[in-house]
Amino acid sequence: MPFYVLHALKAHAGHWMFGTVLLTVAVVLSSFARPILLKLVSKIRFFRGGPGHLLKIVTRLRRPVQALVMLAGLWLVVPVVDVLHAYKGAVEKGLAVLWFMALGWLMISLVYCFEDVLILRYDVSVSDNLRARRARTQMQLMRRMLITLLIVVDAGLVLSVFRDSQIWHYGAGLLASAGLASLVLATAAKSSASNLLAGIQIALTEPIRLDDVVIVEGEWGRIEEITTTYVIVAIWDQRRLMVPLSYFIENPFQNWTRKSAELLGTSFLYVDYSIPVEPLRQEFCRILEESPLWDKRVCALQVTNLSEHTMEIRCLLSAADSGKQFDLRCVVREKMITFIQENYPEAFPRTRFSSTQLQEGKALPEKVPMGKA
């Protein structure tokens, strides 16, 4: 009898020792997750980032990888520990649920890492950043939709653990109810459904992209962020305009960077008829030649309108983007006014009148002092 007891104790001790070894190996492997991931990511051929970007990607992946390794170690330990045999089913289901949740965490982290790697290939800080802004906009919208899909799939995997129990039936009924409820809510909440569809349409047709310069509701600003339901427009005076996604599908708006950031601009002068136009044209061209804001595409000064008091002169110019265009227009106005003040001070607008008495050679009556009329 003591022999059997001793043999059982040795067997239990062996099982415990084997389980402890497995758990220790899992802990050690999880602790080395960071250096292993650093080496793996650094070997990727299309990775162009420096140490900072590499560390960012590894930081995203480290914790979900550690969780998966630890849970895998615990999964291997459970069958060899006799004490847990009575609760083996419950423990295994609990570990499976945690493992699927960690797997979903890892998949979502991989989506973010994939976006980070692609962003390195598209730099928006360059002057011609149309392709980069298009790619970043598409990546941002697709990332949100992909993460939503992964969460739904991961929830289905978690429910599949309980396929032999009542929870599976409850989960299936819940998913069916959720499908019906989504149809009802989509019908009731038309704005939310239209925004969701508008987001997909915007990702495909690209009426707007990140960092686009737009005029929305009479406000000049840049597209700062595109979410699944609304767009944040950063106004020039640091305000933020929240616009539903469906607005950009259903309403007209101005996009100044749809094909290119290059723009034409005008500065108007209103002067007297007596001023010669050619010296103004030469001075305007000289101002543009000296300005680093001009992109050397368009330079034209023309008389565009005449009124009973003044003539309108349009200074047409070009610039690489809207910010430079606005600054250049202001520079042209200031310097052209200075030029007229110094060379043709009498050519500013003035009120003209004619007298029939002067035309007939008669003298005008003396001025009557104020208050004695």
Which of 121, 137, 164 finishes a domain?
Answer: 121
Helix (H, G, I), strand (E, B), or coil: what is residue 154? helix
More confident residue, 169 or 264: 264
Residues 232 and 292 in one domain: no
Same domain, 35 and 106: yes
**pLDDT-based confidence at 52, cuts 50/70/90?**
low
Residue 299 covered by a domain: yes
In a domain, 352, yes or no: no
Residue 363 has pLDDT above 60, yes or no: no
Q: Please tell me what DSSP assigns to residue 245.
A: T
| Mean pLDDT in residue range 129-149 | 76
Tens-place pLDDT, residues 335-351? 999 999 999 988 887 76
Confidence label for 245 from pLDDT (cuts 50, 70 and 90): confident
User: What's the distance, Cα to Cα, between the start and end of the chain in Å?
Assistant: 141
- Asked, for residue 91, whether it belongs to a domain, the answer is yes
276 shares its domain with 246: no
CATH number at residue 278: 3.30.70.100
**Are 248 and 304 members of one domain?**
no
Mean pLDDT of 223-236: 88
**275 vs 165, residue with greater confidence:** 275
Q: How many CB atoms lie within 10 A of CB 354?
A: 6
Residue 30 has pLDDT above 80, yes or no: no
Digit-coded pLDDT (tens) for 159-213:
777 766 555 555 555 555 555 555 555 554 556 666 667 777 777 778 888 888 9
The answer to whether residue 19 scores a pLDDT higher than 60 is no
CA atoms within 13 A on the CB side of 85: 6
Comparing 227 with 29, which gets the higher pLDDT?
227
User: What pLDDT score was predicted for residue 341?
Assistant: 92
| Residue 67 falls inside a structural domain | yes
Query: Residue 283: is its pLDDT beyond 90?
Result: yes
User: How does pLDDT run across 86-120, given as a tens digit for each residue?
Assistant: 666 677 778 788 888 888 888 888 888 888 777 77
Enumerate helices (H) and strands (E) in the chain, giving the number of each.
Answer: 11, 8
Q: Report yes or no on 202 lying in a domain.
A: yes
CA–CA gap between residue 370 and residue 33 (Å, rounded)? 95
Find the range with the poorest average confidence among 169-183, 223-237, 274-288, 355-369: 355-369
The two tokens of residue 51 are: 């140490």
Look up the pTM and report it: 0.53
> In terms of domains, do 110 and 51 share one?
yes
pLDDT given at position 121: 72
What is the rounded average pLDDT for all residues in the chain? 75
Asked if pLDDT for residue 364 goes beyond 60, the answer is: no
Q: How much is the average pLDDT of 131-149?
A: 77
Asked if residue 185 is part of any domain, the answer here is yes
If we measure between CA atoms, which residue out of 212, 327, 313 comes closest to residue 265? 327
Does residue 10 carry a pLDDT above 50? no
> Count of domains in the chain?
3
In a domain, 240, yes or no: yes
Q: What is the pLDDT of residue 49?
A: 55
Per-residue pLDDT at 329 exceeds 90: yes
Same domain, 332 and 280: yes
Average pLDDT rounded to a whole number, residues 112-132:
71
Whether 4 shows a pLDDT value over 50: the answer reads: no
My answer on whether 243 and 285 are in the same domain is no
In the beta sheet, which residues pair with residue 356? none
Arithmetic mean of pLDDT, 141-147:
80
Torsional sign, CA 85, 87, 89, 91: negative
Q: What is the CATH number of the domain that holds 251?
A: 2.30.30.60
Residue 278 lies in a domain: yes
Strand partners, 313: 269, 303
Position 162 scores a pLDDT of 73
Structural domain that includes position 332: 263-347
Instruction: Give the model's confidence band at 281: pLDDT under 50 very low, under 70 low, under 90 confident, else very high.
Output: very high
Q: Are residues 171 and 112 in the same domain?
A: no
For the CA atoms of the chain, what is the radius of gyration? Answer: 37
| Residue 102: predicted pLDDT | 86
Are 95 and 57 members of one domain?
yes
Statement to judge: residues 164 and 91 lie in one domain = no
- Tell me, what's the pLDDT at 233? 94
The residue among 2 and 149 whose pLDDT is bigger is 149
